[in-house]
Amino acid sequence: MTKKEKQGRGCLTNRIKEKSKKLFHYEITEQELRLMVHIQYVMCNDQKIDPNKISSDERKILSEWRDREYIEGGVSGLSITKDFWDAICELIFLGYVDIN
């Protein structure tokens, strides 16, 4: 019997990729998954993105999310849709909570 490798927290797994395809119609990246955790934290706290805490690559992701109308704003105040909130919570659960 082979031992199943334990999933690392925040790792992009096949089930996360498949779930993201169902939720967003595309496969997210590991960087997106990790940014979702930060966005969840921001929304639960001051609802403002600190530009010193995100990279230029993450800014590009945020811009793509704005284009898809998942989020609005950022530094001056962030808002997200309920559907996007539900989707990121589901993906965060799979990537950080329900790990094998």
- Look at residue 1 in the predicted model and tell me its pLDDT: 38
Is 75 or 97 the better-scoring residue by pLDDT? 97
pLDDT of residue 8: 73
pLDDT-derived band at 3 (thresholds 50, 70, 90) equals: very low
C-beta neighbour count of 31 within 10 angstroms: 14
Residue 17 has pLDDT above 80, yes or no: yes
Average pLDDT over residues 12-41: 95
Q: Where are the alpha helices (DSSP H) in the chain?
A: 14-24, 30-44, 56-67, 82-92
- 28-79 residue pLDDT tens: 999 999 999 999 999 999 999 999 999 999 999 999 999 999 999 887 899 9
